[in-house]
Structure 1
Amino acid sequence: MQATDHPAPHPAERIGPAFSVDGMLLARQQTRLAIERIAARITPGMVEEDAVAMARQLMADMGLAQSWHPTRVRFGSNTIKPMKQASVPGVVLQENDLFFLDIAPRLGEWEGDGGQSFTVGSHGEYARCARDAETLFHEVRAVWDQQGLSGRQLYAFAQKTAQAMGWELNFDLPGHRVSDFPHAAIHTGSLADFDQAPSAMRWILEIHLRDPQHRFGAFFEDMLLEDSFYPRT
């Protein structure tokens, strides 16, 4: 599977008139950079709402002011909530805590979307959850790349693997299309309901893990792409 600027054959994978491989990759690059910069400014004692305001301003300063879904920063107990559910207000990041970001900036005509979890201080289970969310993202991405599984099969694999890791997979975050703006004019269905092998540079793969006791969670998302788009470790 190679990223292409030709329309995919399945109706769910159509692209808009402004679609550009270079544009989509630049939007992704700037999204990942924004996540890194926002996370670096989040410190214990910060209130979640202030972190959201800071994230919005930072993206505006980067030229990413237009966001196609709300900017989300989730602290502590709010990390278990589905994205469409509002955070409990006033949550303060503690000295040993967990938080995640979920941002969706636009760069010109192109949609970015990315999320990642981070920890502060020292808490083994928080660190493991954050690490496992990203690990599982790449494990799901690997079976997509190597086996050509459908979107539905990918999330079945993700659920089974999450359970083996000791976590619960939140199916309220089932992946979605990404494109030149707005992808919703092309397709609004989820990746988890897509019954064909998804094409590269058409979908966002979302992984939201939750502690089985629903005390905390971790999130990672990125564009579905092959190994060559990820730095070697």
Structure 2
Amino acid sequence: MNASITEAERVGSAFSEDGMLAARQFTRTAIQQIAEAVRPGMLEEDAVELAKSVLAKLGLRATWHPVRVRFGINTIKAMKQPSVPGVVLKENDIFFVDIAPRYEAWEGDGGATFVVGRDQELDRCARNAEELFHEVRAAWRRHNWTGTRLYEYAEERARQMGWELNFDLPGHRLSDFPHAAIHTGSLAQAAFSPSPSRWVLEIHLRDPERRFGAFFEDLLLDDRFYEQ
């Protein structure tokens, strides 16, 4: 293992596989509970507060990046871009949840997209984001590809699906808190095959006309940790 890989995959003293998996399980449960509480007619700002309250009820108040729920046109934006204020979820609409709870010593991070109503194109975008996540993850396991190659493949497949891949969300490290003190480089910049339980794979698809987008992210893990 060369020095660059050693540095990029370094962990803190509290790191454990079981701890990372527990943080992941908490994160996925919270995402689902937040999504189930979102309703058409709700303001995006109110949905963010709702998400925070769900996390608090689950016993978690600390997050290592802001809680995000994005509706409609705001789903095309990169995470660091502010939302257009005052966006209301419509009867036929799309939204995503992106949370990063600190679960004891470990970082969680996850995102998923949901559709209300019966718009087939919105549904396809949301479905494709999760499908592409798993396609890229499968390529990682099958081919032992570098992080850079994984995102090249993701871009190619996204285009074939009819979407744009947003490279402003290029994947990142995850660890015992805080991973930023360990490594800040992206997964798309990794010139090696990433190890399990240390990296988040992010897939953000956008409609070529920039009307809406879909997002899915999760910890990079073997097949046995996912329900197919």
Q: Quick check: 1:188 aligned with 2:184?
A: yes
**Equivalent residues in 2 for 1:146-165, closer than 5 Å:** 146-165=142-161
TM-superposed CA distance for 1:198, in Å, is 0.3
- Please give the TM-score of this superposition, normalised by the length of structure 2: 0.97
Q: Is the 8 A contact 1:144 1:154 kept in 2?
A: yes
Report how many aligned residue pairs link the two structures.
Answer: 225
Q: Percent identity?
A: 64
Aligned partner of 1:33 among 19, 29, 33: 29
Contact 1:63/1:107, CA 8 A, preserved across alignment: no
Structure 1 stretches of 4+ moved >2 Å: none
Partner of 1:15: 11
Residue 16 of structure 2 aligns to which amino acid in structure 1?
S
Equivalent of 1:55 in 51, 56, 78:
51
Equivalent position to 2:97, from 95, 101, 105:
101
Alignment match, 1:3: none
User: Residue 216 of structure 1 aligns with which residue?
Assistant: 212
Give the letter aligned to residue 216 of structure 1. F
Show CA shifts across 1:193-228 (max 9, x none). Answer: 000000000100000000000000000000000101
Q: Which residue of 1 aligns with 2:110?
A: 114
| Matches of 2:134 and 2:67, distance apart in 1 | 24
Aligned partner of 1:47: which letter? L
Gaps of 5+ in 2: none
State the 1:141 CA deviation: 0.1
Give 1:128's aligned residue.
124
Tell me if structure 2 keeps the 8 A contact 1:141–1:224: yes
- Residue 10 of structure 1: how far off its partner (Å): 2.0
1:68 maps to 64
* SS of corresponding position for 2:85: coil
Matched, 1:45 2:9: no
TM-score norm. by structure 1 comes to 0.95
Task: String of CA shifts for 1:99-143, please: whole Å, max 9, x gaps.
Answer: 001100011110000000000011010000000000000000000
Offset from partner CA, 1:134-165 (integer Å, 9 cap, x none) = 00000000000110000000000000000000
